[in-house]
Amino acid sequence: MSADLAQAERAALCDLLLEVGPDAPTLCAGWTTTDLAAHLVVRDRRPDVGPGLILSGPFARHTARVTRRAAERVPFEHLVTRIRSGPPWPIRLVDGPVNLVEYFVHLEDVRRAVDGWAPRSGLDDLQDALWPFQKSGTKLRTRRVQDVGLSIARPGGQPVAVRSGSRQVTATGDPGELALFFFGRRDRSRVDLTGDPDGVSEVRTAPIGF
């Protein structure tokens, strides 16, 4: 199920990229849609850039160099065609776990980069598939949040503890909105934070992500 949904998000992103063109804005700081497309192509097809997606220093510089070269040298439409064709065969075996959250977030990076955006509706199956990834993903991306006992919850659901700390905070939202929030798209996601006021402030402002 998650693999089918990941492929659907990939296809929807490709359609949107062609619709908005190569120079449209995204929520990825400093990136146009061409830069985003290049990132997705090298992420799929260049395993040597993997460490630089997480680590800083020479790893990040190598990844940035490879991505920039792809953006400059490969026509935008060809980049989109490569994205649409999917990852190489070994990665296809884990397409859902590896790519579902990634493609959901990047589709929203393009959708929500312009005024007048609204969350998509009718995504119950997608939200259910995104939910299992939220605890581990949120824990990783909030490792620099200090002394906050962080929990996450779906609307009307029971909170799930993510981090321990003296200041208790619960982040409530649909799984996709939580993914966006903790990927650093805090001002373009619909998540409610409740609990200790200082803890809420910490979650809103502390560095989040890789």
**125 vs 1: CA distance, rounded Å:** 9
**Predicted local confidence at residue 114, as pLDDT:** 95
| Closest by Cα among 122, 113, 38, 116 to 82 | 38
**Predicted local confidence at residue 103, as pLDDT:** 97
**Predicted local confidence at residue 162, as pLDDT:** 96
- Coil, strand, or helix at residue 170? strand
At residue 71, does pLDDT exceed 80? yes
Cβ atoms of 63 and 52 closer than 8 Å: yes
At residue 52, does pLDDT exceed 80? no
In words, the CATH class of domain 130-205 is: alpha beta
**116 vs 146: CA distance, rounded Å:** 34
Query: Is the sign of the CA dihedral 187, 202, 131, 38 positive or negative?
Result: positive
Binned at pLDDT 50, 70 and 90, residue 87 comes out as confident
- Going by C-beta distance under 8 Å and a sequence separation of 6 or more, which residues neighbour residue 203? 142, 145, 148, 150, 169, 171, 193
Residue 204 zone, left/alpha/beta (φ > 0; ψ -120 to 50; rest): alpha
**102 vs 98: CA distance, rounded Å:** 8
Q: What is the DSSP letter of 25?
A: B
Domain ranges of the chain: 2-111, 130-205
**Predicted local confidence at residue 90, as pLDDT:** 79
**146 vs 148: CA distance, rounded Å:** 6
pLDDT above 70: percentage of residues in the chain: 100
Instruction: State pTM to two decimals.
Output: 0.94
- Average pLDDT across the chain, whole number: 94
pLDDT digits (tens, 9 = 90+) for 2-28: 889 999 999 999 999 999 999 999 999
**130 vs 175: CA distance, rounded Å:** 6
pLDDT digits (tens, 9 = 90+) for 155-166: 999 999 999 999
pLDDT digits (tens, 9 = 90+) for 94-121: 888 889 999 999 999 999 999 999 999 9
Cβ atoms of 185 and 204 closer than 8 Å: no
**Predicted local confidence at residue 129, as pLDDT:** 96
Burial of 60 by CB count in 10 Å (0-12 exposed, 13-18 middle, 19+ buried)?
Answer: middle
**Predicted local confidence at residue 95, as pLDDT:** 85
Binned at pLDDT 50, 70 and 90, residue 1 comes out as low
**Predicted local confidence at residue 127, as pLDDT:** 97
**Predicted local confidence at residue 182, as pLDDT:** 97
At residue 201, does pLDDT exceed 70? yes
